[in-house]
Each structure stands twice: as structure tokens, then as C-alpha cells.
């Protein structure tokens, strides 16, 4: 057996910029002939499946200084875009403070793919399975426009990326996860525990695929919130994605239910509104209707569980 | 540009260390490691199957971590230590290989080099893995023959053997 077809017809030049400014300049110079390349794992999938051709230039981002580490910054945990998903998966700070991100990453591909794949590539693709969990923590991104760094909410960055005509061409540097109110123990996925004596924090991330493990997602769902001891919703974030759908926060629904009691009527409302507001992309394997009801069931059941656990502890 | 960005052109000479030996390989910067080990270095123990990261047949160790060689580009291997299945047994059969033999961890054997590499990476990092950790570590290795029972036993036995010798 010889080389595969992409290797015989194309052999891109690979650039190794040392700074974000150099990387950005290379992209300006070679424009559509060049792609930013982190781990290259999603790009490889796209080249092999014929979704896109191998470009003439790869701009390898791995040598840019300071982007492959995870550190505590002033505003939260800063995850450099070049950090491999497997380093994120095994990072104690990340799993302690943002367990749903760790859980989301655990379900992405397999460890061997995650050695190459980066968090930056996952987010910049706009459809990575880490995104719903990051949205659940109100993550921000730091990106570079050729002159300076910008900080933006991930939800806005994604919104602009899907609106942009030529897709997302902004150079992503890092992901910023703001620490939640309590810096003590934060919730383990699917659990609930003390925020103050009056409040319970709860959260869960789910990925539904067509197999149990090592599978692309059909739906990703994240819920993160705070309940009072009488089951009034004090804070809530709901994020949904999966497959080729760019993940979104259901901010309209979040506003509607903030301050409300979790009871049967509210759960019905959450179900109906999730079906209305979530607009997943369908494919040959799963319809939009299936994805909507899967997402609605996941969110409602987690909210119900959190309220039930809360009542049990009284 | 403030500093000249380094460029890897074709032809490109990859310098890396394969099974402990320095190699200077004329290739292309985006060539796949799978092609390099099999076609340039004739190390055909590394298997080619799906070629898109989904089966694990092409697994190698890069700096001691299991990585799919079909996803890895030449420039990503520059100056790295790469171990193929041939490099696992240089000092006689590795205990992981022995455990696969004793527990019937293979039938046709096509997935086996990749499995051995993944188990080796797992046990080097975590000599006493839980069932969940074993399942996660091997989630990228597909076997179409065994039903995984023999593989599971082999991993357990290899872990047990390692605990007894340390
Ligand atoms: C076998 C297999 C299984 C997979 N399973 C999953 C899965 O379960 N869930 C999942 O989410 N993904 C999955 N993927 C896809 C992929 O591995 C991940 O999305 C990964 O995180 C992409 O990261 P990367 O560093 O390899 O990105 P790359 O492939 O390098 O880049 C991805 C995209 O982002 C752009 N890009 C990369 N970095 C930047 C940056 N810093 N700034 C701007 N643009 C950038 C690239 O130009 C490209 O368009 C799988 C892939 C494979 C091969
Ligand atoms: S050939 Fe590389 S994972 Fe299948
Ligand atoms: S033994 Fe045949 S594929 Fe695993």
C-alpha cells in the first residue's frame, strides 16, 4: 500500500510562527490558501472525507509561546488554545473547578486522538463537544485581530463565527473560565452540594451519541445553576449543541425561569420551550425533532433531579 | 513580520528517534507518520486500517504516549522519541505481549500491535488502572474478532504482573 491520495496530490508548506502576530500575518498573506493548524485532527478528518482539500499552506500554531499551558489568571482559569485535550482531561485544577468541562473532554474521541487534538481546535471549529460545557460556565475567549488581543464571551464569539460569511477566521489564543462564586468544592457532574447553607449548586453535562463511547455527538447538553433550599432557581445556564450544530445558550428560557419554583408546571415549560428554542442541524442519522426532544429530556430530567436531591437533603 | 517564521518545505528532512535510533528521513512536512514508519522505515508491525483515527491499528508511542500515527504529521514528530511495536520487544517479549499470549487477547491479530501499544502507554502512566480507566484508555482501539474478553483479561494480567514486580 502506498500513500493516500491527499498525500500524493498535495504537500503543503508548513509554517511555524513563533508569535500570534506572525501567524496572523501569514494568514493575511496566503488567505484562503492557508489554514491555522493546531493538532490537525479535525482538519485531517475533513481532508480524508473530501469536505475540504488539503491547503497549500498550514500555519502550525503549536510553537506560539505561552499557548500550551493551563494557569490561574486574575479572572479565572486560562487554558491556552494549544493545550492538548488529554492534558486538559488529566488536569486537577480543571476537574476541581470545572468538572463538566473535564467530563465533556473525557467523551471526546479517545485518549490517543486527544494527545494531538487541542482545546483551541475544538472551540475554533465551532462545533466541538467541549463547547456546551464551556458555555455552561460562561467561558470567554481571548483572540487576536492582528494588532491586539480581545476578550469576548464564548457565546458571542460563536454567534459571530456562524454569522461570518467565510466562517471563523479569527485567531483564537486562549479560553478563560471564570471561577464560580464559591472557590471551595464545586459540583461534581450530576451532583448537588452546598454553595452557602441556603443554596445548592447543581450541574450536569451529557453527550448523547450513536454509541456509548468513542462516538460523534448527536446532542450535547449542559445545565449549571443554583437552587435555594426551597427549590427556587437563583441562577441557571442551559447550553445545547451536538453534531454539526453550533452550540447555544438558551438565554431566553434562562431568564423566564430565573426566580421560579421548580415544580411540575415549570418542568413542562422548560421542556416545551427547549423544543421551541433549540434549532439543531439534522443529518442522515438523526432528525432535528429527535435532537430537540433528546435535549429537552436531558435538561428537564437534570433540573428535576437537582430539585429532588435538594428536597431530600432538607 | 517581527521575526521570520520558520518554514518546513518539501522536500523536508525529518529528524526523530525511532525505537531509540536516530533517523533522518526525506519526506514531506505533512506526510503521515503511518506512511513514514511503514513505507520509509519498513516497520510494518504498525497497521494501516481506517486511516482517520477511528480504529487504533496504527498506534505508536510518541514520547511515551499512545498516538494514532495516521493522524500525526511528519513535522509533529520533529526531534521526538517514537516507539513502534517493533521497539516494544527489543529486550525480549514485553510482559504486556506475554499477557496477550497467555490470555488469548487476539484472534486474527490485526488490532494487536495497536492494542499492545495502548496498554503499554496506560500501564507506564498508571500501573494500577481501574476498570473505567482501562475502558477509557482502550476506547480508541477496535477489535473485530475477540469480543474484547481476552483483551480485558490480558490487560488485567499485565497490570497484576507489573504490581508483583514493583
Ligand atoms: C477519530 C476522531 C474522533 C473525534 N471525535 C470527536 C468528538 O467526539 N468530539 C469532538 O468535539 N471532536 C471530535 N473529533 C474532532 C477533533 O479531534 C476535535 O474537534 C479536536 O479538538 C480538534 O482540535 P485540533 O487541535 O486537532 O484542531 P485542528 O484540526 O487543528 O483545527 C480545527 C479547526 O479549527 C481551526 N483552528 C485550529 N486552531 C485554531 C486557532 N487557534 N484559531 C483559529 N482557528 C483555529 C482550524 O483551521 C480548523 O478549521 C474527532 C476527530 C477524530 C479524528
Ligand atoms: S489506521 Fe489510524 S486509527 Fe485506524
Ligand atoms: S484480533 Fe482480529 S481485529 Fe482484534
CA A191, CA A312: separation in Å to the nearest integer?
Answer: 13
Same domain assignment for residues A98 and A38: no
- Alpha-carbon gap: B135 to the closest alpha carbon of chain A (Å): 9
Q: Which CATH number does the domain housing residue A200 bear?
A: 3.30.390.50
Same domain assignment for residues A159 and A223: no
Q: Is the pLDDT of residue B1 over 70?
A: no
Q: Is A186 contained in some domain? A: no
Confidence band, pLDDT 50/70/90 cuts, at residue B90: confident
CB contact under 8 A, B1 and A63: no
Chain B residues at the A interface, defined by Cβ less than 8 Å, are 1-3, 5-10, 28-32, 35, 38-39, 48, 51-54, 56, 59, 62, 65-68, 70-73, 75-76, 118, 135-137, 139-141
pLDDT tens-digit series, residues A255-285 = 999 999 999 999 999 999 999 999 999 999 9
Give residue A242's domain range.
195-312
Of A148 and B90, more confident = A148
Question: How would you class A175 by CB atoms within 10 Å of its CB: exposed for 0-12, middle for 13-18, buried for 19 or more?
Answer: buried
The answer to whether B28 and B36 have CB atoms below 8 angstroms apart is: no
The answer to whether A259 and A231 have CB atoms below 8 angstroms apart is: no
Q: State mean pLDDT over A85-114.
A: 98
CA A194, CA A196: separation in Å to the nearest integer?
Answer: 5
Confidence band, pLDDT 50/70/90 cuts, at residue A186: very low
Q: Which CATH number does the domain housing residue B59 bear?
A: 3.10.20.30
Same domain assignment for residues B24 and B84: yes
Pick the last residue of a domain from B88, B111, B131: B88
* CA separation, residue A244 to residues A129, A167, B94, B121, B147 (Å): 10, 14, 43, 32, 32
Number of domains chain B is built from: 2
From the CA of A215, give the closest atom in ligand 1. Answer: 8
Of A10 and A75, more confident = A75
Pick the last residue of a domain from B88, B115, B139: B88
Inter-chain CB pairs, A–B, below 8 Å: 124
pLDDT tens-digit series, residues B58-77 = 999 999 999 999 999 999 99
For residue B3, which residues of chain A lie inside 8 Å, CB to CB? 18-19, 22
Question: How would you class B90 by CB atoms within 10 Å of its CB: exposed for 0-12, middle for 13-18, buried for 19 or more?
Answer: exposed
- Alpha-carbon gap: A241 to the closest alpha carbon of chain B (Å): 22
Q: State mean pLDDT over A173-201.
A: 67
- Percent of chain A with pLDDT strictly greater than 70: 90
pLDDT tens-digit series, residues B111-144 = 999 999 999 999 999 999 999 999 999 999 999 9
For residue B59, which residues of chain A lie inside 8 Å, CB to CB? 112
Q: Is the pLDDT of residue A190 over 90?
A: no
- Percent of chain A with pLDDT strictly greater than 90: 82
Q: Is B7 contained in some domain? A: no
**A146 phi-psi bin (left φ>0, alpha ψ -120 to 50, beta other):** left
Binding site membership of A117 for ligand 1 (Cβ less than 6 Å) = yes
Amino acid at each position: 500500500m502506498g500513500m493516500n491520495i491527499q498525500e500524493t496530490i498535495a504537500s503543503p508548506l508548513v509554517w511555524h510562527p513563533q508569535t500570534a502576530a506572525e501567524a496572523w500575518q501569514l494568514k493575511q498573506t496566503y488567505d484562503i490558501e492557508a489554514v491555522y493548524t493546531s493538532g490537525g485532527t479535525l482538519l485531517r478528518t475533513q481532508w480524508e472525507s473530501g469536505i475540504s482539500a488539503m491547503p497549500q499552506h498550514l500555519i502550525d500554531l503549536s510553537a506560539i509561546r505561552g499557548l500550551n499551558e493551563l494557569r490561574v489568571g486574575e479572572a479565572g482559569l486560562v487554558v491556552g488554545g494549544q493545550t492538548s485535550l488529554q492534558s486538559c482531561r488529566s488536569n486537577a485544577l480543571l476537574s476541581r473547578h470545572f468538572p463538566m468541562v473535564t467530563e465533556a473532554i473525557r467523551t471526546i474521541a479517545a485518549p490517543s486522538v486527544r494527545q494531538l487534538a487541542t482545546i483551541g481546535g475544538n472551540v475554533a471549529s465551532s462545533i466541538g463537544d467541549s463547547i456546551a460545557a464551556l458555555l455552561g460556565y460562561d467561558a470567554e475567549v481571548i483572540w487576536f485581530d492582528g494588532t491586539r488581543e480581545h476578550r469576548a464571551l464564548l457565546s458571542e464569539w460563536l454567534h459571530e463565527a456562524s454569522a461570518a460569511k467565510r466562517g471563523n477566521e479569527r485567531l483564537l489564543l486562549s479560553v478563560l473560565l471564570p471561577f464560580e462564586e464559591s472557590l471551595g468544592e464545586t459540583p461534581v457532574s450530576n451532583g448537588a452540594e452546598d454553595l452557602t447553607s441556603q443554596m445548592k449548586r447543581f450541574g450536569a453535562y451529557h453527550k448523547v451519541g450513536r454509541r456509548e463511547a468513542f462516538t460523534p455527538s448527536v446532542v450535547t447538553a449542559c445545565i449549571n445553576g443554583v437552587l435555594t433550599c426551597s427549590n427556587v432557581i437563583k441562577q441557571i445556564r442551559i447550553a445545547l449543541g451536538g453534531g454539526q450544530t453550533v452550540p447555544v445558550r438558551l438565554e431566553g428560557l434562562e431568564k423566564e425561569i430565573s426566580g421560579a419554583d421548580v415544580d411540575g408546571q415549570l418542568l413542562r415549560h422548560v421542556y416545551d420551550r427547549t423544543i421551541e428554542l433549540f434549532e439543531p442541524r439534522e443529518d442522515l442519522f438523526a432528525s432535528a425533532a429527535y435532537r430537540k426532544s433528546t435535549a429537552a429530556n436531558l435538561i428537564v430530567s437534570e433540573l428535576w433531579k437537582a430539585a429532588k436531591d435538594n428536597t431530600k437533603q432538607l | 513580520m517581527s521575526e521570520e517564521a520558520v518554514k518546513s518545505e518539501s522536500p523536508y528532512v525529518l529528524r526523530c528517534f525511532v525505537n531509540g535510533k536516530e533517523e533522518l528521513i526525506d519526506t514531506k512536512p505533512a506526510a503521515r507518520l503511518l506512511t513514514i514508519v511503514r513505507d520509509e522505515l519498513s516497520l510494518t508491525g504498525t497497521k494501516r486500517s481506517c486511516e482517520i483515527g477511528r480504529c487504533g491499528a496504527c498506534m505508536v508511542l510518541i514520547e511515551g504516549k499512545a498516538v494514532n500515527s495516521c493522524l500525526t504529521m511528519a513535522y509533529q514528530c520533529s526531534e521526538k522519541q517514537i516507539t513502534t511495536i517493533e521497539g516494544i520487544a527489543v529486550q525480549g517479549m514485553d510482559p504486556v505481549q506475554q499477557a496477550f499470549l497467555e490470555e488469548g487477547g487476539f484472534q486474527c491479530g490485526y488490532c494487536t500491535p495497536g492494542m499492545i501499544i495502548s496498554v503499554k502507554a496506560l500501564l507506564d502512566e498508571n500501573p494500577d488502572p481501574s476498570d473505567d480507566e482501562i475502558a477509557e484508555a482502550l476506547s480508541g482501539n477496535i477489535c473485530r474478532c475477540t469480543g474484547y474478553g481476552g483483551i480485558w483479561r490480558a490487560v488485567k494480567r499485565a497490570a497484576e504482573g507489573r504490581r508483583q514486580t514493583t
